[in-house]
Amino acid sequence: MKTNKFQLLFATTLLALIITSKANAQKYTTVADTPALNKEYRQVSADLAELNKRLTDAQGKTSNLMSKVTTTSQDAQSAAIASEQQASTATNGDLKDLRKEEKKAEKANKKAKDQKDAQKDLKANQKEIKHLNEEISKKQKRLAELDKERDAIMGKQ
């Protein structure tokens, strides 16, 4: 039983080493590969610049969204208070007061919905910033790999 576990562990480890050695193999190894390496390097650099631009835009949008959340929250609270006050008047009043209360309640409901939408937009923006940071990190790692491959090719000359 112990030998079977040992053999299974050994086979799994060997398989993992084979897979990772192939995954870490350099794509560009000769001087003839240099044009292709340079082309990929330019493409990854352009992608990185575009991602950084998008990140800057998203970060700038964050402050606007945060102020929108604050504003809509205050608007929703004041509309709810006004609706509540109108409702107390409407219970003691006539049909005209009841219609005013209904309009104020609809307004308060709309303001509350606007506030929820603003919060949703802020969360989506924060998620986008996180995604962009992850993509930027991947591109930076790929550039570092390409630099190593270029250095390895130049070292062979």
Dist. CA 146–CA 48, nearest whole Å: 14
Q: DSSP letters of 5-37?
A: HHHHHHHHHHHHHHHHHHHTS-S--SGGGHHHH
The DSSP secondary-structure symbol of 93 reads S
What average pLDDT does range 40-60 have in this prediction? 95
- Average pLDDT of the chain? 82
Query: pTM of the entire structure?
Result: 0.66
Dist. CA 70–CA 143, nearest whole Å: 41
Instruction: Tell me the pLDDT tens digit for each residue of 88-113.
Output: 666 666 777 777 777 777 877 787 88
Under 8 Å between Cβ of 76 and 112: yes
What average pLDDT does range 42-53 have in this prediction? 96
78-84: long-range contacts at Cβ-Cβ below 8 A with a sequence spacing of 24 or more?
A: 79/104, 79/107, 79/108, 79/110, 79/111, 79/112, 80/108, 80/111, 80/112, 82/107, 82/108, 83/107, 83/108
Q: How confident is the model at residue 3 (pLDDT cuts 50, 70, 90)?
A: low
Q: Which residue has the higher pLDDT, 68 or 83?
A: 68
pLDDT at 69 over 80: yes
Dist. CA 105–CA 101, nearest whole Å: 6
Q: Which residue has the higher pLDDT, 62 or 96?
A: 62
Domains and their CATH numbers in the chain: 32-156 (1.10.287)
Q: Which residue has the higher pLDDT, 135 or 30?
A: 135
Q: Which residues contact 119 (CB under 8 A, 6 or more apart)?
A: 69
Residue type, 3: T
Q: How confident is the model at residue 56 (pLDDT cuts 50, 70, 90)?
A: very high
- Which of 46, 52, 110 is closest to 79 using CA atoms? 110
Reading phi first (left if > 0) and then psi (alpha if -120 to 50, else beta), residue 144 is in alpha
